[in-house]
A = this chain, B = another copy of it.
Amino acid sequence: MSAEDPTNSRWRLDIAYDGGGFSGWARQPGQRTVQGELEDWTTQVLRLPTPARLVCAGRTDTGVHARGQVAHVDLPADAVRDDGTALLRRLGRVLPDDVVVLSVRAAPAGFDARFGAVWRRYVYRLVDQGTPLDPLLRHQVVRVPVTLDLDLMDEAAPVLLGLRDFGAFCRRREGATSIRTLLELSAHRISAGPYAGVLELTVRADAFCHSMVRSLVGALVSVSSGRSDLAWLARVTDAAARTSDVPVMPAKGLTLEEVGYPPDDQLLARGRESRTVRELTPATPGRS
């Protein structure tokens, strides 16, 4: 089944989930995964002849949450007979309450949730020493037993920005590239409302290699707590090979918030370009 098959139509799903109860996005035998739940229920409510297969923008790890996951699925043309509203409603009735399909829409021509994405934005949430962890947020905010200096964090972030080999921050995979463009890395403390006191670290890149967001946050925590300095950060970054020096932060603080796509009329070109690059260097875009 492929999008090029004229008997199929492609749908875009926007998805949110609490990662706490899942062994990540990717389907694995014997594990409860987001992809598994969504595919199984989509197949069932639509009574598909063959199982639905979802392709997502960011294959989140075990325990990582999402508010803005995007996926596509190719379905027989007669499987969905309206604008997606009925499928959205039916999934809403059967899915467990830790995963929610936010919308189902006909995908524009050339849309590919994975290869069409131009950036992924993650937010890591934590509190440092002196700020109690709100028990209502304990499943999505991490408490670190050190005091963080936001000025030091602001100094460290630019060291990491731009196009570079993030090998030092990636779990190595055979044949996978770790060259990425880090577009944004910024920290701010929330001043009011239910998240008051929480430190939000925004990490946005064209794509991520495995454990990259949590390693980048770990490096910033290391520098801003005074455990390491900027010279260490520059040295580690240049090394371009994973070292045990960079702490990988716990998964529960991480949420995939948003995925960026080009305007509809540029989707076809973007998909071709991205697919070519990835096939030359078989990376796993969007891993976190």
Interface residues, chain A, CB within 8 Å of chain B? 16-18, 65, 67, 92, 97-102, 132-136, 138-140, 190, 193-195, 255
| CB-defined contacts of A18 to chain B, threshold 8 Å | 135-136, 138
A65 to B67, CA, bound (A): 23
> Which 9 pairs, one residue from A and one from B, show the smallest C-beta to C-beta distance?
A18-B135, A98-B135, A102-B132, A100-B132, A18-B136, A100-B135, A136-B140, A17-B135, A97-B138
A132 to B101, CA, bound (A): 8
A100 to B133, CA, bound (A): 8
Q: Could you jot down 17 A-B contacts, CB within 8 Å?
A: A16-B132, A16-B135, A18-B138, A65-B135, A67-B136, A67-B194, A92-B132, A97-B133, A97-B138, A99-B135, A100-B133, A100-B134, A100-B135, A101-B132, A102-B132, A136-B139, A194-B195
| CB-defined contacts of A194 to chain B, threshold 8 Å | 67, 195
Task: Give the one of A67, A97, A135 with max B CB within 10 A.
Answer: A135
A194 to B193, CA, bound (A): 10
Nearest chain B residue, comparing its CB with the CB of A134: B16
Q: Is the CB of B67 within 8 A of A134?
A: yes
Q: This chain: how many copies in the complex?
A: 2
Q: How far is the CB of A63 from chain B (nearest CB, A)?
A: 12
Q: How far is the CB of A33 from chain B (nearest CB, A)?
A: 15
| CB-defined contacts of A195 to chain B, threshold 8 Å | 193-194
A67 to B67, CA, bound (A): 24
Q: How far is the CB of A8 from chain B (nearest CB, A)?
A: 27
A18 to B100, CA, bound (A): 22
Task: Give the one of A98, A134, A138, A195 with max B CB within 10 A.
Answer: A134
Q: Is the CB of B140 within 8 A of A255?
A: no
- From the candidates B65, B102, B132, B193, name the one contacting A136 in the complex (CB within 8 A): B65
A100 to B140, CA, bound (A): 16
Q: Is the CB of A255 within 8 A of B136?
A: yes
Nearest chain B residue, comparing its CB with the CB of A257: B194
| CB-defined contacts of A255 to chain B, threshold 8 Å | 136
Knowing that A16-B134, A67-B134, A136-B255 are A-B contacts, what are 9 other residue pairs whose CB atoms are under 8 Å apart, sorted by A's residue number? Answer: A17-B135, A18-B136, A18-B138, A65-B136, A67-B136, A99-B135, A136-B139, A136-B140, A193-B195
